Amino acid sequence: MARRILGRLRTAFLAPVLAFGATLGLAAAPAQAAVWHNCDQWGNTSLNGYTLYNNIWGQGAGAQCTWANSGTNWGVWADHPNTGGIKSYPNAKKVVNKTITGMSSLNSSYRVKVPAAGAYNTAYDIWDTDYDYEVMLWMNHNGPVGPLGTAQGGATLGGHSWNVYKGRVTNPDGSYHEVFSFVRTSDSTSGTVNVLPILEWIKDTKGWWGNETIGDVQFGFEITSSAGGLEFVTENLTVSAG
One-character DSSP codes across 63-79: EEEEEEEETTEEEEEEE
Apex CA 15: angle with CA 10 and CA 17, to 5°? 115
In one letter, which amino acid is 36?
W
Residue pair 92/108 in contact by the 8 Å Cβ criterion = no
pLDDT at 197: 98
Reported pTM: 0.88
**Helix, strand, coil abundance in the chain, percent, nearest 5:** 15, 50, 35
What is the rounded radius of gyration, in angstroms, for the C-alpha atoms of the chain?
17
Q: How far apart are CA 37 and CA 40, in angstroms?
A: 10
| Domains of the chain by start residue, with CATH | 7-241 (2.60.120.180)
pLDDT along the chain (242 residues), means of 10: 39 35 41 82 97 97 98 98 97 98 98 98 98 98 97 98 96 91 98 98 98 98 98 98 94
